[in-house]
Amino acid sequence: MDPAIELRGLSKRFGKLTALDDLSLVVQRGEIFGLLGPNGSGKTTIINILSGLSRPTAGQALVFGFDINRDPRAVRSLLGCVPQETALYEELSAQANLEFHADLYNVPGRERASRIAALLDLVQLTDRRNSRVSTFSGGMKRRLALARALLHAPQLLYLDEPTLGVDVQSRRALWDYILGLKDQGKTVLLTTNYLEEANALCDRLAILDRGHLVAMDTPAALKQRYGDSVIDLELESEPSAALLQALRDLPGVTDLTTHDGHLQVTASGERPLAGQVVTLVTNEARLRSISQREPNLDEIFLHLTGAALRD
């Protein structure tokens, strides 16, 4: 069975600028796959190529076995998109937006009304079906855009920053919808800059930087590659070189940074290190605060690429 997405040696150049450089990856059917990277990393270029909006300079992009260059209409009929800016007709009602989409995607006439009703119900917008979209909140627009993308029953759903600018409650609801899609056997490709979101949703992540694939793995494996946990300590004085060396020598410490009395120790492995770190630190300095957490996406990205994620 063909994978949902297969990119083979994909390159895209705009004049002297290389947006994608010999990129290959495979997304399996039924997978929720995350694309991560800062602006200019190549995420949008991949999506534009997959949806037929842009042609690759070299390489091949296949969606469910269809070559996007040879059969773009077949690929588009399998693809549902929720772009970041939602692309809804704000001057029209929710119902009119969905009816228009149904016509564009040739949804059978006898199923149109029932599908629209079911999806409006799913995204809890039934009571606002006749309201103009311009009167909707950001979260409502996202939900409507999701309903629209699902209307033609696509096999592959692309979500661009699906919860950007959405309140916490709506975010949770959207996550539930997205996880529900996986249960229905849909393949989901999403971009996000939130590790929490990637953790909650993605089976695998691909980290991109300047058109290159930097890493591709499960969220847990990526975190482990950087370190399982991060211990943040605030000291009353700057740590000495001897203390820093002693901390670096602890088994399991993978990274150590210091800045203005703040000390950040990244650790991996089974053994809990917090106790040993605190003992070493308090032998030399007074401790103001301590906290332990998972590494965030910025830190993983910085570790992998040497650059900040939101640059």
Partner 1 sequence: MRHDLRVIRAVALKDIRSALTERLFTIISIVLPLNFLLLFLLFVLTGGEAPTAVVMDDTGPYGQQFLQALQTSHSFIIQQTDAATAQRLMAQGRIVAVITVPATFDAALQSGQSVSVPVAVNNLELDYTNDIRRAVPLAITSFYAQAFPDQVVVHAAEIDVQPYDTGYIEYLSVSIVVVSLLVGGLLQAGSNAAREYETGTIKELLLAPASRWAIEAGKVLAAVALNVLSAGLVLGVVVLVLQVRPTHWPELIGFTLLVMLTFVALGLLLGTLVRSRNAVVPLSLGLALPVFFISGAFGPVQWGTPVLATVAQLQPVYYAIAVFQYAFHGFQTTPFSVATNAIVLACFTLVIVSVSAIALRLRATP
Residue 76 is a binding residue for partner 1 (CB under 8 A): yes
* Max Cα distance, the chain (Å): 76
Among 90, 176, 232, 234, binds partner 1 (CB under 8 A): 90
Residue among 2, 9, 24, 53 that touches partner 1 (CB under 8 A): 53
Q: Any contact of residue 193 with partner 1 (CB under 8 A)?
A: no
Report in angstroms how near the CB of residue 211 gets to partner 1 at its nearest: 16
77 near partner 1, judged by CB under 8 A: yes
Among 26, 96, 250, 274, which residue sits at the site for partner 1 (rule: CB under 8 A)?
A: 96
Least distance in Å: CB of 107 to partner 1?
A: 10
Q: Rounded distance, CA 231 to CA 266, Å?
A: 6
Which range of residues in 34-42, 57-65, 77-85, 115-123 is near partner 1 by CB under 8 A?
77-85
Smallest distance, Å, CB 44 to partner 1?
9
Candidates 33, 43, 46, 54; binder of partner 1 (CB under 8 A) is 54
> Is residue 79 part of the contact set for partner 1 (CB under 8 A)?
yes
Please tell me whether residue 52 binds partner 1 under the rule CB under 8 A. Answer: yes
- Cβ proximity to partner 1: between 85 and 183 the closer is 85
The residue among 91 and 234 lying less far from partner 1, judged by its C-beta, is 91
Q: Are 60 and 22 in contact (CB under 8 A)?
A: no
**Shortest Cβ 213–partner 1 spacing (Å):** 22
Nearest to partner 1 of 165, 272 (CB atom): 165
| DSSP string computed for the chain | ---SEEEEEEEEEETTEEEEEEEEEEE-TT-EEEEE--TTSSHHHHHHHHTTSS--SEEEEEETTEETTT-HHHHHHHEEEE-TT----TTSBHHHHHHHHHHHTT--HHHHHHHHHHHHHHTT-GGGTTSBGGGS-HHHHHHHHHHHHHTT--SEEEEESTTTT--HHHHHHHHHHHHHHHHTT-EEEEE-S-HHHHHHH-SEEEEEETTEEEEEE-HHHHHHHH-SEEEEEEESSPPPHHHHHHHHTSTTEEEEEEETTEEEEEE-SSS--HHHHHHHHHTTS-EEEEEEEPPPHHHHHHHHHSS-S--
Whichever of 101 and 143 has its CB closer to partner 1, that residue is 101
Contact mark string toward partner 1, 29..48, x via CB under 8 A: -------------------x
**According to the binding rule CB under 8 A, does residue 85 interact with partner 1?**
yes
Residues near partner 1 (CB under 8 A) are 48, 51-54, 73-74, 76-77, 79, 81, 83, 85-92, 96, 99-101, 103-106
